[in-house]
């Protein structure tokens, strides 16, 4: 993937990533369920960061931002690679916002098929 990230996007990506790290790194001596609720803001900041990055995909052939059909799951694909060593295996797809994908779309169906076939290589059960 190639990206053309305007300065305004970069500033917001940095801001959201910083806030995600701040939230994720906060000590919360609660039970697991409450701690997970407290981490929802960090997970959202991470999603926004990657969504902004995905919006900046670049197409060298057209010298413009990429608009290919597979862009619709680019955010989830990047998040799927990000989350494995940040959280438990059972939460990767949830944190990557797979529920936002339109599973009726054939390109998305193919992506999900590949993920389900290769998930075990990432340690996913």
pLDDT, one tens digit per residue, over 6-49 is: 999 999 999 999 999 999 999 999 998 999 899 999 999 999 99
In whole angstroms, what is the distance from residue 49 CA to residue 46 CA?
A: 5
pLDDT at 125: 46
pLDDT at 122 over 70: no
Q: Which residues of 16-40 are buried (b: 16+ CB within 10 A; e: fewer)?
A: bbebbeebeeeeeeeeeeeeeeebe
pLDDT, one tens digit per residue, over 57-106 is: 999 999 999 998 889 999 999 999 999 988 888 899 999 999 999 888 89
pLDDT at 120: 46
Identify the H or E element spanning 59: strand 58-59
pLDDT at 119: 67
Q: What band does 115 get if pLDDT is binned at 50, 70 and 90? A: confident
Per-chain mean pLDDT for the chain: 91
pLDDT at 20: 98
Hey, where are the domains in the chain?
1-67, 70-125
Q: What is the pTM of this model?
A: 0.86
């Amino acid at each position: 993937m190639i990206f053309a990230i305007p300065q305004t996007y970069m500033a917001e990506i940095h801001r959201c990533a910083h806030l995600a790290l701040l939230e994720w790194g906060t000590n919360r001596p609660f039970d697991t369920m409450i701690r997970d609720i407290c981490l929802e803001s960090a997970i959202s900041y991470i999603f926004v960061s990657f969504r902004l990055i995905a919006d900046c995909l670049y197409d060298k052939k057209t010298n413009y931002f990429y608009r290919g059909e597979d862009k619709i799951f680019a955010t989830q694909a990047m998040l799927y690679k990000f989350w494995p060593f940040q959280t438990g295996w059972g939460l990767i797809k949830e944190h990557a916002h797979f529920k936002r994908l339109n599973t009726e779309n054939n390109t998305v169906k193919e992506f999900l098929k590949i993920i389900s076939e290769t998930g075990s290589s990432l340690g996913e059960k």
